[in-house]
């Protein structure tokens, strides 16, 4: 007999259900088509679907921005730095742990281009600037 595919997610969801009246608002689902969408009710825990807790965010101006990366730094990891001063709102750094650590201390370090871009746009909006 095989174990439950979603055991860890179900356990985390149960923890959320103990705290929140509508825990599904904190979760996303990805069926076979590969597109993530917000849940509108309790998950069905279908074996062919993936489930995950939404990334936590912080409010910066009118934007809900993904929280910066605060984990361990790797020497070969690509990091994305939120930057309101660049046309794309981010820059990337690989293998320079000193620079990544400095950005992490400033809370502008992300693991995805999307998160850094959103963060950079939020910072630019606070400064009354737009690079678009």
Task: Give the per-residue pLDDT at 36.
Answer: 86
Q: What is the per-residue pLDDT across 14-55, written as a single tens digit (0 to 9) for each?
A: 999 999 899 999 899 998 877 888 999 999 999 999 999 888
Residue spans of the domains in the chain: they are 7-54, 59-126
Mean pLDDT of the chain: 86
Task: Give the per-residue pLDDT at 1.
Answer: 40
d(CA 48, CA 77): 30
Task: Give the per-residue pLDDT at 3.
Answer: 57
The more confidently predicted of residues 99 and 88 is 99
- H or E element that contains 18: helix 7-19
* Contact status, residue 4 vs residue 10, Cβ threshold 8 Å: yes
d(CA 112, CA 79): 7
Task: Give the mean pLDDT of 76-104.
Answer: 83
A 10 A CB-CB count for 122 gives: 20
Q: How far is C-alpha 2 from the geometric centre of its chain's CA atoms?
A: 31
Tell me the pTM: 0.63
* Contact status, residue 16 vs residue 23, Cβ threshold 8 Å: yes
The percent of residues in the chain predicted with pLDDT above 90, rounded, is 35
A 10 A CB-CB count for 13 gives: 20
């Amino acid at each position: 007999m095989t174990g439950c595919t979603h055991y860890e997610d179900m356990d985390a969801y149960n923890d959320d259900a103990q705290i929140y009246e509508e825990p599904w608002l904190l979760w996303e689902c990805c069926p076979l088509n590969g597109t993530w969408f917000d849940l509108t009710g309790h998950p069905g825990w279908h074996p062919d679907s993936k489930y995950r807790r939404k990334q936590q965010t912080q409010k910066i101006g009118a934007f809900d921005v993904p929280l910066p990366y605060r984990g361990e730094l790797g020497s070969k990891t690509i990091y994305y730095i939120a930057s309101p001063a660049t046309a794309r709102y981010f820059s990337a750094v690989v293998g320079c742990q000193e620079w990544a650590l400095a950005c992490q201390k400033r809370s502008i370090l992300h693991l995805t281009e999307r998160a850094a871009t959103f963060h950079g746009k939020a910072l630019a909006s606070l400064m009354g600037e737009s690079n678009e």
